[in-house]
Amino acid sequence: MFDQNNHILSIDLKSFYASVECVDRGLNPFETPLVVADKARGDGTIVLAASPYIKDKYHVPSRCRLYEVPKNIKGLIIAQPRMSRYLKISALINCIYLDYVSQEDLYVYSIDESFLDVTHYLNRNHDSALSYAKKIMKDIKERTGLTVTVGIGSNIFMAKACMDIRAKNSPNFIFEWSYKNIPSEMWPINDLTKIWGIGTQMAKRLYSLGFYTVGDIACADVSYLKKELGVIGEEIYYHSLGYDDAIIRERYHVKEHSITCGQVLLRNYDESEIPILINDMAYELSERLCDQNVLAQEVILYLGYFDNTGYGLKATFYTPTDSSAQISDSLIRQFKSVDKVSMPYRRITLVANRLADANCYQGTLFENYQQNINDRKLQKTMIAIRKRYGSDKAMPGSALSTSSNYLTRKHQIGGHKA
């Protein structure tokens, strides 16, 4: 079941956003106090990244709030996020990986982290996994100026755990594990959230069941864990032993997928403003549906209050649609018809489910087929105008409202300035 002879690299770009900002300024990330955050959003904005220097010397973590960063740090740089720049550098680094492995042996996990299966590439120059990884590290450093952290293991989980637990704290940012390392390296860990795949709530659940270290999990009865936690319990058990049978080349293809767009609101919104946001988000969702040439049978609206509670509403359409008007009208009607708590809103998300190919979905006798075609042509024309001439052309009228974030979001990537 488990292959012990693979050589997997888990590579993480160290303090990626902050390091890019330092290198672009001709500065050393290990000597520069720099954080990446949008000051225009106030002191409560999230710090997207902190340089290795400020992390180590001042213990400033990434993902903290800007007000938590000490203001008396000499020479502190607060860099404006530049998401398009980070995406460009990430793409360049993944191209470097393809100089060392084929596309089939590369799995891009996130903008700053990838897995490489180097098993079949080591014999060409009599490399070990360690020497091959060092070549990749050196190449990235020379071509981008960035430092990477590399964990090496016999499978994807082991490589990732090695990278998170040991490589990040290693002087040269590289470390290698085999199965014999698991008892000494992993089993003593009592902060279970340090293990890939175990979040805060899962850790609390494990603690409540009497599992206080990874070693406790490794000594458990796998059938008991599966009974208490479901299939994830079985996975956690095998991970505690260092086992993982996932193979990079065996891509997982979902049978059904959804399209999501959402935003965290930068101020409190009252009930009267939500229909404007719904209309804005319907336009955004509709554009994504058109880009992928699919129609949605169902759209779910999630609304979150400032205290992290919230609720969801669902619109189901008789025939699949990508019409922003249909989506917006249906969701606004539902929003106005439900009883709501009198609290400010801080989050809104739309999810399109039960997607159908726009070219071959099954129509009905109860729809105006020609009208649907005309509406889609008009919508695609409006989208083409916006893409060619700018977001402020052929935009929804709601975008002119003071409650709207439509134009602001059109100049952002991932909720931050492009």
Summarised one tens digit per residue, pLDDT across range 77-102 is 999 999 889 999 999 999 999 999 99
Contacts of 119 (CB under 8 A, 6+ apart): 5, 6, 7, 8, 105
pLDDT of residue 335: 93
Sign of CA dihedral 166, 168, 171, 175: positive
Q: Do domains 6-178 and 259-417 have the same CATH topology?
A: no
* Mean pLDDT across 250-269: 80
**Per-residue confidence (pLDDT) for residue 357, from 0 to 100:** 86
End-to-end CA distance of the chain: 45
* Domain 6-178, architecture per CATH: 2-Layer Sandwich (3.30)
Q: Residues 313-321: what's their mean pLDDT?
A: 89
User: For domain 186-240, which CATH number applies: 1.10.150.20, 3.40.50.970, 1.10.8.100, 1.20.1260.10?
Assistant: 1.10.150.20
Assess whether pLDDT exceeds 90 at residue 246: no
Class at the top of the CATH hierarchy for domain 259-417 = alpha beta
Residues 343-357, mean pLDDT to the nearest whole number:
91
> Who wins on pLDDT, 389 or 66?
66
Please name the helix (run of DSSP H) or strand (run of DSSP E) that holds residue 117, with its range, or none: strand 113-117
Residue 358 has pLDDT above 70, yes or no: yes
**pTM for the full model?**
0.78
Q: What is the pLDDT at residue 49?
A: 92
pLDDT for the residue numbered 132? 97
pLDDT at 29 (0 to 100): 95
Report pLDDT for 418: 57
The pLDDT, as a whole number, for residue 45 is: 84
Query: Rounded to whole angstroms, how far apart are CA atoms 77 and 54?
Result: 10
**Structural domain boundaries of the chain?**
6-178, 186-240, 259-417
Region of poorest pLDDT, from 12-21, 28-37, 185-194, 280-289: 280-289
In sequence order, which residues have a C-beta less than 8 Å from that of residue 263 and are 6 or more positions away?
277, 281, 347, 348, 349, 405, 409, 415
What mean pLDDT comes out for the span 267-294?
A: 90
Which pLDDT tens digit goes with each residue over 36-65?
A: 998 888 888 889 999 999 999 998 887 888
Mean pLDDT, the chain, whole residue set: 89
Quote the pLDDT of residue 223: 94
pLDDT at 416 over 70: no
